[in-house]
């Protein structure tokens, strides 16, 4: 019989997590490891971001130094090894997490002119204690190909030796198995909230009603629907990303470094997989289609960076809907006016970097544990004044 930890918000000691992607699974895992009874509800929509995400862990060139997301990313990158170690303790060894290094590459004069500033930024973040960077160095264009044999001739390159990749689906599956092993339940279906005054007392899934002491909403691009049930504005919209999965016959690609361009990227997985991405398409809703324009974009950009992939086989094109917010910052925290509901969503294109830690943060809020970063830039109610 499980012994459930009292979390200070009621007598049932049960938390319902809505969303079975990486954020929700991470929150459920954190709670389950603290002995909390967890029910995880997943609607299993087509286009979940976790299923399509590339899995690059390198805080190199995506964010300006003033962006409030940087402290979150710093802690998120540090959390990855901790989470992987916890999963190993729970018997989960296949997470797809591996440090393989990365190359930031420039293929045009305009991009090459930006590389000194990028190198300075990378060094500053390394000095500030960011994980997944290491002793970054400028490498000669000819030498760059030793890290990625299919690379095109490039004008400049920076090697980030400790950048890592993660197979998001393998990691999510490992978290799910660990959560189940610790006694959590997993339901599939649409979740609706039962609101009573300033609390959510239950979540309904189909014909089933699940009592709840706390609810975590980590439903990705579908989170705004649940926010409306609470009378709160959480304007997360879906941004479609198309990402190509290739196979390079008779070639072991698993040890190749990640290629990071200024707009697109390439990474590999064993034994012979190559992933090229990704489009960023707004204002298309939940249109779950592979398009000719999307295919052309990712193939053209992939070959621009790695002409050696011209003979690769196109295995599939995956589609994911990134949960995008108007100000490009996530929503992490409690809901104004509701005592026991928490959101963790809106991570956009950096969900695989920040998602596991965001899930852990939201679980810690439920557990009334201290949080090490300022969450005010990510306040759930910051758009409540908007229509």
- Exposure letters 316-340 (e unless 16+ CB within 10 A, then b): ebbbbbbbbbeeebbbbbbbeebeb
Residue 58, pLDDT score = 85
Cis-peptide, bond into residue 271, ω within 30° of zero: yes
Cis-peptide, bond into residue 201, ω within 30° of zero: no
| 3 state SS of 258 | strand
Per-residue pLDDT of the chain (387 residues; tens, 9 = 90+): 333 344 443 433 799 999 999 999 999 999 999 999 999 999 988 888 887 878 899 876 556 666 888 899 999 999 999 999 999 999 999 999 999 999 999 999 999 999 999 999 999 999 999 999 999 999 999 999 999 999 999 999 999 999 999 999 999 999 999 999 999 999 999 999 999 999 999 999 998 999 999 999 999 999 999 999 999 999 999 999 999 999 999 999 999 999 999 999 999 999 999 999 999 999 999 999 999 999 999 999 999 999 999 999 999 999 999 999 999 999 999 999 999 999 999 999 889 999 999 999 999 999 999 999 999 999 999 998 644
Alpha carbon distance 5, 220 (integer Å): 28
Residue 276, pLDDT score = 97
Alpha carbon distance 376, 382 (integer Å): 9
Alpha carbon distance 145, 231 (integer Å): 54
State the pTM of this model: 0.93
* 240 phi, psi to nearest 5 deg: -75, 135
Angle, helices 69-89/168-181, rounded to nearest 10 degrees:
60
- What are the tokens at 287? 């249109």
Q: Which residues are within 8 A (CB) of 325 and not within 5 positions of it... i.e. 6 or more apart?
A: 235, 236, 331, 346, 348
| 3 state SS of 232 | coil
- Which H or E run includes 199? strand 199-205
CA distances from 249 to 114, 145, 179 (A): 35, 19, 37
Residue 222, pLDDT score = 96
Residue 44, pLDDT score = 82
Q: Which residues are within 8 A (CB) of 12 and not within 5 positions of it... i.e. 6 or more apart?
A: 37, 211, 212, 213
**Burial class of residue 292 (count of CB atoms within 10 Å of its CB; 0-12, 13-18, 19+):** exposed
Alpha carbon distance 235, 302 (integer Å): 32
Closest by Cα among 386, 353, 387, 379 to 72:
353
């Amino acid at each position: 019989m499980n012994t459930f930890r009292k979390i200070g918000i009621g007598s049932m000691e049960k938390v319902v997590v809505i969303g079975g992607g990486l954020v929700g699974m991470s929150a459920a895992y954190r709670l389950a490891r603290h002995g909390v009874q967890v029910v995880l509800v997943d609607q299993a929509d087509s286009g979940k971001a976790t299923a399509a995400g590339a899995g690059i862990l390198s805080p190199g060139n995506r964010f300006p130094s003033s962006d409030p997301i940087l402290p979150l990313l710093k802690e998120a990158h540090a959390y990855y090894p901790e989470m992987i170690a916890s999963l190993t303790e729970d018997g989960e060894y296949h997470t797809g997490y591996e440090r393989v290094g990365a190359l930031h590459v420039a293929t045009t004069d305009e991009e090459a002119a930006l590389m000194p500033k990028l190198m300075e930024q990378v060094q500053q973040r390394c000095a500030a204690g960011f994980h997944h960077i290491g002793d970054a160095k400028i490498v000669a264009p000819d030498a760059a190909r030793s890290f990625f044999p299919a690379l095109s001739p490039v004008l400049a390159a920076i090697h980030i030796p400790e950048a890592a990749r993660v197979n998001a689906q393998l990691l999510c599956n490992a978290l799910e198995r660990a959560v189940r092993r610790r006694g959590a339940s997993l339901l599939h279906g649409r979740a609706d909230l039962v609101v009573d005054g300033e609390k959510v007392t239950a979540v309904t899934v189909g014909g089933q009603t699940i009592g709840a002491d706390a609810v975590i909403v980590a439903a990705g691009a579908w989170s705004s629907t649940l926010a409306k049930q609470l009378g709160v504005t959480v304007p997360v919209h879906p941004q479609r990303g198309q990402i190509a999965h290739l196979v390079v016959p008779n070639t072991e690609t698993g040890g190749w470094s990640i290629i990071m361009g200024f707009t697109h990227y390439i990474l590999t997985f064993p034994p012979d997989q190559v992933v090229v991405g990704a489009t960023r398409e707004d204002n298309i809703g939940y249109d779950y289609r592979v398009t000719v324009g999307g295919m052309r974009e990712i193939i053209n950009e992939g070959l621009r960076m790695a002409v050696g992939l011209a003979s690769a086989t196109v295995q599939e094109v995956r589609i994911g809907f990134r949960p995008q917010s108007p100000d490009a910052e996530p929503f992490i925290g409690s809901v104004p006016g509701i005592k026991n509901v928490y959101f963790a969503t809106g991570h956009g294109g950096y969900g695989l970097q920040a998602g596991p830690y965001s899930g852990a943060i939201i679980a810690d809020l439920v557990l009334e544990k201290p949080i090490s970063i300022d969450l005010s830039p990510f306040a759930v109610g910051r758009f409540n004044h908007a229509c």
